[in-house]
Amino acid sequence: MNVLVFFALTLQGMTEDGTFLLEHGAMFVPKVVEDGEYYRLFTSMFLHFGFEHLMNNMVTLVLLGWNLEIEVGKIKFLLIYILSGLGGNILSAWYEVRTMDYTISAGASGAIYGIIGALLYIAMRNRGRIGDISGKGLVFMLIISLYYGFTSSSVDNLAHIGGLAIGFVSGILLYWKCNRKDSAFSKS
């Protein structure tokens, strides 16, 4: 979906341009709060500021996402992805309302951090591994990613942190139920 949206918008204009993305659903708190454009909490997850932004997110999504999908299935994967992206955007919007420091934002990274959060929980439950990924490797990647975010000026760190937290909690709720069903079947 992210790639399709990116190429469709590329045919219409410059995806690096914040105003262009704002016209097509990017997150901007005054539009959400004052104009009631709540859909931006969702649509901004599928928009990206240029090809490099898209590729960074999609490579991470592919490398990590399939591991989560194998563990929880397509529906729960999609639920974690969407809830994490929304949660990240809501935390970021809350902060911007409090500080009145508004910026146009877009990208799938809040949702992707949610995938990382869910994978961290599942790795904890599975003695430090999930598929071919180690929990230590995930933590290392998370630290590097957060460091990069906090040392860069154009990164929505609260969307990342919010997505990570929602993903971790979603992992607890959805993976627990998944395992609970499996254990019920194995007892009969």
Bridge partners of residue 129, in order along the sequence: 134
Q: What percentage of the chain's residues is helix, strand, coil (to nearest 5)?
A: 75, 5, 20
Domains of the chain, by residue range, sit at 50-187
Please classify residue 100 by burial: count the beta carbons closer than 10 Å to its beta carbon, then call 0-12 exposed, 13-18 middle and 19+ buried: exposed
pLDDT of residue 132: 80
Against a cut of 0.85, is the pTM above it?
A: yes
Q: Is 109 a catalytic residue?
A: yes
24, 92, 160, 170: the catalytic one is 160
pLDDT of residue 182: 46
pLDDT of residue 58: 97
Report the C-alpha gap between 171 and 114 in whole angstroms.
9
Q: Which stretches in the chain have pLDDT values below 50?
A: 181-188
Assess if CATH 3.40.50.1370 describes domain 50-187. no
- Give the tens place of pLDDT for each residue, 81-110: 999 999 999 999 999 999 999 999 999 999
44, 92, 105, 109: the catalytic one is 109
Report the C-alpha gap between 114 and 28 in whole angstroms.
21
Q: Is 105 a catalytic residue?
A: no
Tokens representing 22? 């704002």
pLDDT of residue 127: 86
pLDDT of residue 96: 97
Strand pairing report for 133-134 and 129-130: antiparallel
